[in-house]
Each structure stands twice: as C-alpha cells, then as structure tokens.
Structure 1
Amino acid sequence: MTVRTETAGRTFVITIDRPAVRNAVDAVTSELLAAAFDELDARPDVTVGVLAGAHGHFCAGLDLRAFLAGQRPSIPERGFAGLVRRPPQKPLIAAVEGAALGGGFEMVLACDLVVAAQDAFFGQLEVTRGLVASGGGLMRLPRKIPRNIALEWILTGARISASRAHEVHLVNRLVPSGEALARALELAEEVGRNGPLAVRASKQIVVESQDWTDAEFFQRQAEISDPVRASADAQEGARAFVEGRRPEWTGR
C-alpha cells in the first residue's frame, strides 16, 4: 500500500509511502488518499488529521513517469491527490520533512496548518517543466503570503527553504530535522483536546467566510455556529469548566 493510516488519540495520521519516487503521487495513491480523507471526515472518534510522507520526504508532487504513461492522478470532485480541490472538513496538518514540490507543495497549501523541519524545502516548480500549477496553488499561495512574494515563487519555480517559508508565515512551526511528524502530532493533540463540533465549525467558518460580505457575516456564521451552541458538547464544556475537570466530548 502506498498510503498508510493510523490513529493516535483523536488524531488520524495519513502517510504517503513511495520511497523510490520521494512519495510522488500516481493514480492509485490519489485514490487511496481520497479514501483516507473521507475516512477522516466520517469517523466520529477523530477531530484532526495529520498528513505526512515516509522516508524523509513529504511529497515530490506528480509522478512524472506515471504521467507520461497516461495516468492522471486527479480524483473527480477532489482533484490531485484526492485533496486539492476539496480538502477534508476537519482540520488537516501537514508534517513536512524533505521535499514538498509541485503538487506536493499544493498539497501543503491545501492543509490548514504546517509543521516543517528546518531542512525541508518547498517549490511551486511547474513552470520549470512547462506546466501550470493547476492544483490550487495559484489561488492559495497568494492568500497565505504576500502576493508579490507568491508571484515570485510561482513564476520562478524557485526552491524555498523552510526557514523562508516560516518567515512569511506559511509554516506555523519550524522544528529540528526528523521531528516534523512528532511535533505535528503534538499540535494535533492540542487541537484534539477541544470540542470536535466546535473545531469543525470553526474551520468551516474561516474557509467559507472568504466569500462573505461584512453585512452577511454574522447571519451566515450563526447558521453554522448556532447548532454547535445548542449541542450536548456545549453543555458538557460548560459543565466541565464549572466542575474543574476535562470535558468528555461525544460529538453530539
């Protein structure tokens, strides 16, 4: 299997495992990733996901040999790697070691938080292969960092160090080499301590409100947040605070 999954507490860990091609994505890997992201959203016992690559690299992007053989690693309605067109509804953290290039970089951009090793590197390098970055990178990168810096990275196809990505706030946490997954799991644990309904709704509001006007923000926010406020978990959160204990979430 080129994709492995495991559960750690309330965290669902998804790992790409294709060492011979630095975890580049082919059609089969895209299908397995899409299934893993669907499982992340469907499982009531997990709150957050972590996406990682095995053997010291995150993902080198599109498997060009598979591409030349006629494979198209794009899933209908989900896009490249089963991710870039429709990310999961639950928060997803990228744990980046080594290379995150081309489509691999677009996968990072489709994640909500990024933990990167100090020697990791990124690159939107499609133009160097005569291609356009069509997996959402041209939309997401200018939203996450200053537009002129994003354009420079996109138009040059330059290799970007993790420290530079951290400077422009693309990377949340910069960690020692070899520790990206462990530190991403720590961050996921912080997220997972919170109410799962509230976490999911909070991500939904942040993502969807990019298209809302100021006038409609509070009404549309209420449509998402009011059911959470009325949930059993909201009562449990308040009760646990009053009683001085940790909440026991049920996701209801």
Structure 2
Amino acid sequence: MSSDWDPLAFHPPSHSEELKVSFPQEHVMLMTLNRPRHLNAMTPQLTASIATILNWFDEEPSLWVVIVTGEGRAFCAGADLKAWLHNQSSGTANERESVASSVHGFASISRRHTSCKPMIAAVNGSAYGGGVEMILNCDMVIASEDAVFALPEVKRGVLASQGVIPRLGRVAGHQLASEMLLLGNTITAIQARDRFRFVNLVVEKSAVVPTALDIARQITMNSPDSVQSSKEGLVLAQKHHFEQAVQTHSMSLVSKRLYHGANIREGLAAFSERRKPRWSNPAKL
C-alpha cells in the first residue's frame, strides 16, 4: 500500500445501513451485504444502495476493483420470498416488466455490463437464487469450504430470470446448467468449482475475504487500463460473435484510452528499464 493511500479521503454517496462500504487496501472497495439476520436476502432498499454505490465506484478513477461479500453466515439468500408473496397477493407484482426493464438485474449486479472494472465475489456462506445470479456475473469467485449454492426457483414456482440461465449455460454447459436449474438442488463449493466451473478458489471460511483482497492486490499490480480493456473484451464476447467482438473491442473508447494513455507508455518503459511500472489512474471516459 502506497503512503498516500487514504481510505478516509473517499466520500461515497449516502446509502442504507443494509450495505457496508469500506476501502481496505489501495484501489479496492469492499461492499458487504448487511442483513445477517435475514441471510442478506435482497430488498428494494438494499438494491438501490448497491446501485448508488456501484455507479459512484464506476466514476471514481482511483478505485479499480470491487469485492462483494455478505455479513454473517450467508452471502445472499436471494429475493425476499415473503415480500414477493405479498406483492402477488396484493396484485402489485409485475415481474415480467420488471425483469425486462431492469438495467443491471438482480441487486443491480446480475446483469451489470456497463462497468469495465473487475468485481470479485467473496462467498462466505450460502448463496441461493438471486445470490447465485449475482455471483455468475462477477469476474472471479472465492468461496468458503462450507459455502453452498442453489437455484431453487423451480421449487417455489418462480423463475431464475435475471441473467443466470444464459450465463450458466455458457459456463457449465447445457446439461450441467439444467441440473441446477431444473432440479433446484443444492451443490457444494467444491462442486461449483470442479463440475459447474463458476468458482475459482475454495478456501477456509476465515480466509475468504483475505483471499479476495489478495486477488484484488494482484489485479491492481497490473495496468488498470489493460485490466479494464481486457474485461470489456470478455463482456463483448458474450454479446457478439468472434469477429464482431474483436472489431467492436478494438474500436471502443476503453481500447482507445489504453492505446493513447500514459499507462501503455509507462509499462513499455518500465520493461525496457528493468523496473517496476508506476501506474496512474485511468482517464475518465
């Protein structure tokens, strides 16, 4: 951590107490879902807070990586089904239109494609439904040994509709995605890593956030321009066929910033001079 790093210098916008925000190391923001008594089940208020903070994070040049985790024994239990039942019973539910009009999906994370900054999921416990939808849209996933994952929507007569179906199909393949989606059964962290392939590392529970922080530190040792352009390329690959993805990526503003920015010159000069590069914050797009 550099001597000029001051977490107190950041002033994130006001948000609910259901979300904790901190800056534990250089260029890194940590978001902690803070409804432990309710297994961090998502509420409209918590969703709004996440959206507010992530929108601010995206515009903050000196923050390069975000980690999301949960307080207590769960990562996220998904949607609040009691509230869902109330909306259904009162006639206020409008799920299809809500899904179609949602810009960033469940918890403002599951379909968030506008940010090129890496997001790491530090899964400290159980993740169900929307919690899994969030995880599948993160760039890296660190899970505790006792973490479990499930898409139990079919057992409740509802639908996992916020992006996990196409993404899980791509990651795990049709048959394994069907196993999670059509059976609704729970899988372990080891299965999520080795069979379904959406977890990177499985560690002791006490090591989940420290491991995520170490991964974030390794990311921030690299050029932020290169990291963000690389992530953009991965996102575009999900939207376009191969050649179109390559061409769209090469002509994007993020790629232009990389090729015309200070960090590409710094990286090449540092290599030539056999020294560590000194990266600067990316320019705002």
The match for 2:138 is: 111
Structure 1: 5+ residue stretches without partners: none
**C-alpha distance after superposition, 1:114-153 (max 9, x if no partner):** 0001110000111111101011111111111122011011
RMSD of Structure 2 on Structure 1 (CA): 1.9
One-letter amino acid matched to 1:10: H
One-letter amino acid matched to 1:58: F
One-letter amino acid matched to 2:263: D
Using the alignment, how far apart are the partners of 1:94 and 1:195 within structure 2?
21
The match for 1:232 is: 262
Using the alignment, how far apart are the partners of 2:119 and 2:80 within structure 1?
23
Among 66, 74, 78, the residue aligned to 2:83? 66
How far does residue 226 in structure 1 lie from its aligned partner after superposition?
4.3
One-letter amino acid matched to 1:78: H
Calculate the TM-score normalised by the size of structure 2: 0.83
The match for 1:2 is: 18
How far does residue 15 in structure 1 lie from its aligned partner after superposition?
0.7
Native 8 Å contact 1:47 1:199 kept in 2? no
**C-alpha distance after superposition, 1:158-196 (max 9, x if no partner):** 101000011122111111122111111111111111111
Bigger shift: 88-97 or 119-128? 88-97
Using the alignment, how far apart are the partners of 1:92 and 1:154 within structure 2?
24
Native 8 Å contact 2:105 2:163 kept in 1? no
How far does residue 108 in structure 1 lie from its aligned partner after superposition?
0.6
The match for 2:247 is: 219
Using the alignment, how far apart are the partners of 1:54 and 1:69 within structure 2?
26
Among 213, 233, 236, the residue aligned to 1:208? 236
The match for 2:11 is: none
**C-alpha distance after superposition, 1:32-81 (max 9, x if no partner):** 11112112211111111111001121100001233234398978422221
Calculate the TM-score normalised by the size of structure 1: 0.93
Structure 2: 5+ residue stretches without partners: 1-16
The match for 1:79 is: 105
- Structure 1 vs Structure 2: percent identity of aligned residues? 34
**1:80-229 equivalent positions in 2, closer than 5 A:** 80-87=106-113, 88-168=115-195, 169-224=197-252, 225-229=255-259
- Secondary structure of 2:122 counterpart: strand
- Secondary structure of 2:68 counterpart: strand
Among 9, 25, 28, the residue aligned to 2:45? 28
**Number of matched residues?**
252
One-letter amino acid matched to 1:228: L
